[in-house]
Amino acid sequence: MKIVRYRADGITNFGIMEEDGTIRDLVGSPFEALNPSSKTVHLSDVQLLAPVEAPRIIGVGLNYAEHAREAGKELPTKPMLFMKPSTSVVGPDEAIIYPHQGKNIHYEAELAVVIGSPARRVSEARALDYVLGYTCGNDVSERTIQFAEMQTGTMLIGKGFDTFCPLGPCITTDLDPGNLQLQARLNGEVKQSESTSDLIFSVPQLISYISAAFTMLPGDVIMTGTPSGVGPFVPGDVVEIEIEGIGTLSNPVVAEE
């Protein structure tokens, strides 16, 4: 099942998208129940939005074995976590704004996990019961600022600029997060290509670890980390993130005015 959040005629709603592009409105929020109504629209007549609104975003650093080796780092023994502001979120086809401070900004293709129900002290065995579904994410990062922050033991501004967390195009349910093919393309050229089977900490491990500390809420998003092949982009570029079973998230890059 593919859940979308969209705007049509000035109204924002959730819906279930079928293979032919038909979207059937949901009654209420998908975090409450998946109750489709009789009203339908077509994908071609709506604007897709980020599939969750103003989520808490938990990022995971160095969570692919090959990416850790690429960075010359030892494999972490515990998840390396950080958070991104809700204002960093944009949806499909929305611009990634290249800020005035930008010197070396990278794309990072990631599987994003959308929490569906409150989760506190969840076991790994039950962790996926608390997941609504999965979407494509791009953990955009200003490396010059990020690496300077990391020298002081922090990581926020380099990851947290407005528009630095594209999400979409939909939330897909009933996937195996441990074996999905993920790809990043820059102007159509493949830059990252890996399976989530290379994750150091699996989705159930991440949910269990995080929920042992604080309650995860419906709509929270875990950005599970990026594989090897990260690299820079500049204004005028187009970044695409594609994940098996979900679809493609595309965003142009535009210089801040």
Q: Which of 29-38, 159-168, 169-178, 198-207 has the lowest mean pLDDT?
A: 29-38
Predicted confidence band at 69 (pLDDT cuts at 50, 70, 90)? Answer: confident
Question: In terms of pTM, does the model score above 0.85?
Answer: yes
**Same domain (yes/no): 9, 85:** no
Q: What is the pLDDT of residue 32?
A: 93
CA distances from 84 to 8, 69, 179, 201, 211 (A): 28, 24, 26, 19, 18
The average pLDDT across 166-175 equals: 97
Is the pLDDT assigned to residue 174 strictly greater than 80? Answer: yes
**Same domain (yes/no): 161, 132:** yes
Expressed as residue numbers, the domain containing 26 is 2-48
Predicted confidence band at 4 (pLDDT cuts at 50, 70, 90)? Answer: very high
Beta strands at 221-223 and 109-115: parallel, antiparallel or unpaired: antiparallel
Q: pLDDT tens digits for 194-223?
A: 999 999 999 999 999 999 999 999 999 999
Q: What is the pLDDT of residue 65?
A: 87
Is the pLDDT assigned to residue 74 strictly greater than 90? Answer: no
CATH of the domain at 131: 3.90.850.10
Q: CA gyration radius for the chain?
A: 17
Contact (Cβ atoms closer than 8 angstroms) between residue 193 and residue 229 = yes
**Same domain (yes/no): 37, 65:** no
The average pLDDT across 142-161 equals: 96
Predicted confidence band at 73 (pLDDT cuts at 50, 70, 90)? Answer: confident
Residues 6+ apart with CB under 8 A from 33: 27
CATH of the domain at 28: 2.30.30.370
**Same domain (yes/no): 32, 86:** no
Helix (H) or strand (E) holding 183: strand 181-186
Is the pLDDT assigned to residue 81 strictly greater than 80? Answer: yes
